[in-house]
Structure 1
Amino acid sequence: MERENMRCVILVTSDIHGYIQSVDYRTREEIPSGLAKLATLIKEERTKCPNLLLIDNGDMLQGSPFAAFAAAHASGIHPCIEVMNNLQYDAAVPGNHEFNYGFETLKHAVETSRFPWLASNIIAKETGEPSLGKPYTVKRIEDKLNVVILGATTHYIPHWEKASHIDGLEFRNSLEAVKAWTAYIREHEQPDLLIVSYHGGFERDLANGQATERLTGENQAYAICAEVPGIDVLITGHQHRLIAEQLNGVLVVQTGSNGQALGQFTIEFEYSGDGWRVVSKTARLLQPAADTAADREVEVLTGDMERMTQEWLDQPIGTAEGDLSVDDPFECRKAPHPFVQFIHQVQLEATGAEISAAALLSEECRGFGSVITVRDVLSAFVYPNTLTVLRLTGEDIRLALEQSAAYFELDAAGKPGISEAYLQPKAQHYNYDMWAGIEYDIDLSFPVGKRITRLSRNGEELSVNAEYSVVMNSYRAGGGGNFDMFQGKPVLYEGAEDMADLAVGHIQSKGLLTASDDRNWQLMW
């Protein structure tokens, strides 16, 4: 029998975070990323290969000012879904940030999509069935190739998300769900190609298998490649890394964030009478060039919403006296800073807590100038976190400070730098907190875990067993960032408004902000 050959191309987006148009929302300058520019690449690839599948791996609906404005003001189909429908996606997987605006918002997005959403491990407690679409979808290529796409999402979502946003949902272990469904698919669907789209990342170094983070289950991609037979392609995300390689015979990609890159798998098949077999497979990343034009159709689809977003961002909401600017995020984390003090003031006034813990969440944050706009606030508060007040002991606070103090390490010159653990496999600057309402010293001459050499409140040593009300964002209160000492602590208050809205309201009520800081802590080495 004469041999037959076929090629299948899979294109992947992930962690777009509402960056559709190619614009820097801080400066309004054009940037070489965003789904509109990836759309140009997608359409180019479609002209080269008719057997093309397009998959989104999650975190599409949240993360940019455009996404925040659309969540509050869009009627009908969400503009991100309109774009995905236009680009003819074949499947999508929910990311953890898809739940940030509540389950009803996500459900509406699913219902208005002209493609299936896949979530094998997100289960409706009432029925015991997958709650968002189905576990997998089958695609027939030229009525010859049988391609199956299985979806899974990090099951760590309950550690971060507001309980009301995921009420009635069970997040089963991603690795175990992929194992079970892969075996089922192999038996019942006989796929020629099995793709797993997993909104999660790698917990181990791809080269040597060494753990790169605490093995909490948040990321399980390495284990999926090592422990689940029968997978040909694994799409990953969540960590915002740029990866295109092969691990244990499985092709893997991760496409960064905000439309940095398009993942591409190319699979060559041969038919020899006893079925199709893979003869070659490659993975690579396609990145927009400096002169890549944004797709005009996508720009038109989102143009009205983008224009309204820009008008909203430019609204002045207050003024500032003194220096509330952030010139260097690292320098801002090395000493008390007026902008961080502003964050503490918002948190303390909104909740009435005694003590505040806060992080500088974005490396792009530049603080405030003399005139403060919505754009300035949204650039600083990039996640829709709400506030939570926990009852903590003095010992809990000390342990949390030691966890944050691990952010620093001394460089070869004996000066403070950033610990490699906070830079690899992805940057985690947002997991370093600064505190108000207490006084403390971080001494880097001591080993990690023993760096807090002074800890007091109002000049008196903080008692180990005394209890205090402490406000922080909802992500941290759930233990996010390896703050295990917060898990299971009594909750005194849970807010409904996200931090950006609280900050805007605070500025509008004050009218004028005056730069100040308490000089309540210091970094020593």
Structure 2
Amino acid sequence: MSPVLRVLLIGLCALAASPAAAKVVPLVVVHTNDVHGWILPRPDRKASRSLGGAAALAAYVKAERAAAERFLLLDGGDWWQGTPEGSIPKGKAVGEVFDALGYDAVVTGNHEFDSGEESLKSLVAGMKTPVVTSNVLIEETGAQVPYLKPFLVKDVGGVKVGIFGLVTSHMRRLQFPKNISGLAFEVEAEAARKAVTALKAQGAEVVVMLSHVGQEYPDRPGILGDETVVKAVPGIDLVVGGHVHLPLDPARRVGPTLIVNTGCYLEKAGKAVLEFDDQSRKVVGSTASLRTLWLDEVGEDAAVKALAEKWRLEVGHALDVVVATATAPMHRDRLKDSVMGNWVTDCMRRWTKTDLSVQNSGGLRFDFAPGPIRLRDIFTLMPFDNHLVTVYLTGKALGEVFESSVSSPIGVLQLSGGTVRYDASASAGSRLKGLSVRGRPVQPEETYSVTVDEFVVKGGAGFSGFGTATESAYHDSLTRDILGWCATEEGTLRVPALGRYVKQ
């Protein structure tokens, strides 16, 4: 045999004996979070274009699904509370949208419990879309609630993908006690560890966490979120995040784990691409991007547009009635007093005629742009079925309330009737430096009347001090109905001056 032939045969034998070259295949994950009922498009007045809505999302999803061999559609929670179409039918409209788009899995957010556990059970039972949440337990037994799947494993083009979900464990401060009575919410990292172990045991090669826990930010110290969970629990490839209404662009990375968040209100859709090695059977890389859902770019799916319009008509045209006009932008701000917060609390105090009124910043959900203000806008600003309560507090207790306010990592109490002076550089618990009501310094032993949202009175959002109230009076009208009355009375909305919180 010639030397050349011998070398050729040796090469061919070596090639035959070597393993096949690894092939990396992409797994495309389109994701949303914090939809909050925004299934209808709306104009962006700055850009003079329209964006968002279920039909635009459906058009984008259809194009991405058609282009991908391996595709998932997932959501990070807080589906429905926030618009008439979302809130009035208690999530049914958004559930129908999820089903129509073919979501592979969604997680519950804290607002899925806003109408109580029985309402959530009914909503989930009527959905084809799988709902996964691993840390909602029966308080008495510690068992998983039967109406939520803890996790699932799905074969996606030959790749076994494990999906589990988490809702924030801080539900006691985010919900009325009656809405979560009998439930316990397991600490996120512990629940995640159990879920990942179970998914691996069932053969999951890729693990995705749907998270309504939130992300850590420097201006929100003490908030434990997705990064904390991922650092404590190895083996998670992708976190579809939510709860915090801030888009992650670029996405965050903790070691090999990618954390994504689209923001809120269906303004954007997210796309994560996981590169899966079919030889090692592991994710070897990942990328993420966000796509703004401009209607003139992505279009609208006709069938889903008809579905959203059906719900708009069912909710009723009455909400589209103009009740007032805004002559200037009225924005929210969680970290200090805002034009919107001042207007809302002024309206509350006009209704109840108390010394002070306060409103948690997180309860305000919408800004007003200059132009006509409709009942729909009022509803979207205050979508919760909450009432006002008048309480009577000593000056000493008021000091505790506002120390809690300026020390809160999630936002201050908006207020009317007073001025708060504080030192943001001081340690939490000693930031309040001055408090006045109706222009006079607060006296520790004097009693003051305060109007407050019932959610806050019952401990919601973590504000302290209201438990020492000497007496209270419950108001029958919903807070948003009072705001509608106020807007109608004013006609042209007053734009309150800022300066109720003064930083020293």
**Same fold by TM-score, threshold 0.5 exceeded?**
yes
Matches within 5 A, 1:406-425: none
Matched residue, 1:307: 313
Q: Does residue 39 of the first structure (1) align with residue 19 of the second (2)?
A: no
Distance 2:116 2:57 in 1: 28
Task: Give 1:239 deviation, angstroms.
Answer: 0.7
Amino acid at match of 2:456: R
Amino acid at match of 1:281: S
Task: Give 1:105 deviation, angstroms.
Answer: 2.5
Tell me: CA distance 1:269–1:165, structure 2 relative to 1, closer, same or farther (3 Å): same
The answer on whether the counterparts of 1:200 and 1:238 sit within 8 Å (CA) in structure 2 is yes
Distance 2:448 2:340 in 1: 24
Q: Does residue 148 of the first structure (1) align with residue 149 of the second (2)?
A: no
Q: Does residue 203 of the first structure (1) align with residue 216 of the second (2)?
A: yes
SS at match of 1:344: helix
Distance 2:498 2:260 in 1: 45
The answer on whether the counterparts of 1:55 and 1:92 sit within 8 Å (CA) in structure 2 is yes
1:236-263 CA-partner distances (Å, limit 9, x unpaired): 1111121123222101101110112222
Matched residue, 1:455: 436
Matched residue, 2:368: 365
Matched residue, 1:162: 176
Gaps of 5+ in 2: 1-18
Distance 1:445 1:59 in 2: 31
Tell me: CA distance 1:335–1:120, structure 2 relative to 1, closer, same or farther (3 Å): closer
Amino acid at match of 1:472: V
Distance 1:446 1:95 in 2: 33
Gaps of 5+ in 1: 72-76, 205-210, 408-420, 423-427
Tell me: CA distance 1:366–1:101, structure 2 relative to 1, closer, same or farther (3 Å): farther
The answer on whether the counterparts of 1:61 and 1:80 sit within 8 Å (CA) in structure 2 is yes
Distance 1:197 1:242 in 2: 15
The answer on whether the counterparts of 1:16 and 1:34 sit within 8 Å (CA) in structure 2 is no
Task: Give 1:113 deviation, angstroms.
Answer: 1.0
Identity, in percent, stands at 24
Distance 2:495 2:73 in 1: 50
Distance 1:471 1:192 in 2: 54
Task: Give 1:402 deviation, angstroms.
Answer: 4.9
1:377-426 CA-partner distances (Å, limit 9, x unpaired): 2254244444345554312312433555689xxxxxxxxxxxxx88xxxx
SS at match of 1:251: strand
Matched residue, 2:10: none
State which of 82, 99, 103 in structure 1 corresponds to 2:113. Answer: 99
The answer on whether the counterparts of 2:406 and 2:431 sit within 8 Å (CA) in structure 1 is no
Matched residue, 1:374: 375
Matched residue, 2:20: 2
Tell me: CA distance 1:257–1:488, structure 2 relative to 1, closer, same or farther (3 Å): farther
The answer on whether the counterparts of 1:160 and 1:474 sit within 8 Å (CA) in structure 2 is no
Q: Does residue 255 of the first structure (1) align with residue 262 of the second (2)?
A: yes
Distance 1:293 1:34 in 2: 11
Q: Give the alignment's TM-score, normalised by structure 2.
A: 0.80
Amino acid at match of 1:68: S
Matches within 5 A, 1:396-435: 396-402=397-403, 431-435=412-416
Task: Give 1:82 deviation, angstroms.
Answer: 1.2
Of stretches 32-41 and 116-125 in structure 1, the one that deviates more from structure 2 is 32-41
1:148-205 CA-partner distances (Å, limit 9, x unpaired): 001110111221211222122112212221122223333x21311011111121124x
Tell me: CA distance 1:232–1:444, structure 2 relative to 1, closer, same or farther (3 Å): closer
Task: Give 1:507 deviation, angstroms.
Answer: 5.7
Distance 2:493 2:60 in 1: 46
Distance 2:220 2:191 in 1: 22
Task: Give 1:316 deviation, angstroms.
Answer: 6.0
Q: Which has the larger radius of gyration?
A: 2
Tell me: CA distance 1:92–1:440, structure 2 relative to 1, closer, same or farther (3 Å): closer
Distance 1:330 1:114 in 2: 37
Matched residue, 1:239: 244
Task: Give 1:45 deviation, angstroms.
Answer: 0.8
Tell me: CA distance 1:339–1:389, structure 2 relative to 1, closer, same or farther (3 Å): closer
Of stretches 49-58 and 396-405 in structure 1, the one that deviates more from structure 2 is 396-405
1:494-513 CA-partner distances (Å, limit 9, x unpaired): 66864213444x569x9788
SS at match of 1:255: coil
1:342-378 CA-partner distances (Å, limit 9, x unpaired): 22223x27xxx66422367356136997xx7523522
Distance 1:488 1:104 in 2: 32
Matched residue, 1:296: 302
> Over aligned residue pairs, what C-alpha RMSD do you find?
4.0
Number of residue pairs aligned between Structure 1 and Structure 2: 472
State which of 453, 477, 481 in structure 1 corresponds to 2:457. Answer: 477
Task: Give 1:472 deviation, angstroms.
Answer: 1.4
Matched residue, 1:74: none
Tell me: CA distance 1:469–1:252, structure 2 relative to 1, closer, same or farther (3 Å): same
State which of 185, 195, 202 in structure 1 corresponds to 2:199. Answer: 185
Task: Give 1:313 deviation, angstroms.
Answer: 1.4
